[in-house]
Amino acid sequence: MSNSVENVENVKDNSAGAHSLAEILSQPECWKRCLDELDRSKKLEAVRERFTGTEWLFIGCGSSYYVALSAAATMTMLTGQRARAIPASEILFGPEFVLSSSQLVPVLISRSGRTSEVLRAAELLKSRRVPTLAITCATQEALERLATATIVLPAADEKSTVMTRSFSSMLLALQQLAATVAGDSKSSESLRELPAAAAPVLQPVVGKIRKFVEDHDFADYVYLAQGALYGLACEGALKVMEMSVSYAQAFHTLEFRHGPKSIVSRETLLVFLLSETGYEEEVSVLEEMKSLGATTLAIVNRSDARARAAADLLVELNLEVPELARLAPYLFAEQLLGLFTGLKKGLDPDSPRNLSRVVILDDENSRKRREDAAF
């Protein structure tokens, strides 16, 4: 092993991956701080009063787009209103197709508040006089100036390049927004309970994932999920790509049977995010892939004998909160898998090659428009 992952304390003391590990471990406390501040500020209630449209459009790039996928699913499931997620570039190349409703509420997602494509989307929407909501972890950046209203979560910002606690915190804030829009006090309370419930879950997962990485070598990775968990499967694939320079893909679980299963081997890790709603069908896919010789990791709230028999590693959350309120803890194992795999390969997960914390394109016109928006 080129970089020791013998124990968590060693990783904390090393410069490589130190920020990422600290930020992953800080998530439950960070969630509490963010949700408490949203409660104190009454920001979500103000957003509900300000934006009265009936169709939500969640917009982001990279990890922020995957936040958008799970946030859109949550919004529809809690409110019954239509919600979509798109990469920011889609609104730039096909605005007439995307902006098809006068009842649209665009939600712009960017950790830094400086992502070029998101800012361009904000500029386009502002030019068309479409009110926008933004969510970010940075204060006083261009996105906040361009948006009609902004949810800011400074406690969730990170030192590392890759998104971990910023992803989960923005997702929880948008889930809490959905509960607020729906007037669903039960869902709101469940989300408030999540930080305390999830904290004891995290530390055992660290040891399980660390040992699993020590004991295995994989050529590539596949993440499988359905429904609101699918955005988290996409994020899991991205995390292992970013942090360990590994090849990864994400599929809807049942779709994996339709061609992609041809890649199954011991050298390809299949990561299953098992839901409660689709558990029986998803476990059937898990069993089928195991029978084909796959190496499998299953993340589930509670399992049964079938899942235990078909998973080489099983991560159980055992949370009492409702299914939709416990999306974020599925990220623990995904993020740690990327981190420890990167360390095993002798890389620094805090600073992956070819990446920066924010994608800023060299566009003089966009820069001028953003400067103008400040006045």
**CATH number of the domain encompassing residue 266:** 3.40.50.10490
Residues 130 and 263 in one domain: no
Is residue 166 within 8 Å of 111, Cβ to Cβ?
yes
pLDDT of the residue at 6 = 41
Residue 14 lies in a domain: no
What does the alpha-carbon distance between residue 362 and residue 38 come to, in Å, rounded to a whole number?
35
What does the alpha-carbon distance between residue 85 and residue 106 come to, in Å, rounded to a whole number?
10
pLDDT of the residue at 100 = 77
pLDDT, one tens digit per residue, over 135-176 is 999 998 999 999 999 999 999 999 998 999 999 999 999 999
Residue 5 lies in a domain: no
pLDDT of the residue at 4 = 35
Residues of the chain with pLDDT under 70: 1-14, 354-375
What does the alpha-carbon distance between residue 199 and residue 191 come to, in Å, rounded to a whole number?
13
Residue 2 lies in a domain: no
What distances in angstroms separate CA 298 from CA 18, 113, 213, 253, 366, one per listed residue?
26, 34, 15, 12, 44
Residue 9 lies in a domain: no
Domain that holds residue 130: 21-190+358-373
What does the alpha-carbon distance between residue 213 and residue 101 come to, in Å, rounded to a whole number?
47
pLDDT of the residue at 257 = 96
Domains contained in the chain, number: 2
pLDDT of the residue at 331 = 98
Residue 158 lies in a domain: yes
Judge residue 147's burial from the number of C-beta atoms within 10 Å of its C-beta, 0-12 exposed, 13-18 middle, 19 or more buried.
Answer: buried
pLDDT of the residue at 5 = 41
Q: What strands, in cross-sheet order, belong to the sheet with 104-109?
A: 82-87, 55-60, 104-109, 133-136, 149-152
Q: What pTM does this model have?
A: 0.92
Is residue 289 within 8 Å of 240, Cβ to Cβ?
no
pLDDT of the residue at 101 = 79
Residues 213 and 166 in one domain: no
What distances in angstroms separate CA 186 from CA 97, 117, 183, 218, 324, one per listed residue?
36, 36, 9, 42, 12
Residues 164 and 40 in one domain: yes
Residues 169 and 35 in one domain: yes
Residue 1 lies in a domain: no
pLDDT of the residue at 363 = 60
What distances in angstroms separate CA 8 from CA 20, 107, 236, one per listed residue?
12, 37, 21
Residues 181 and 231 in one domain: no
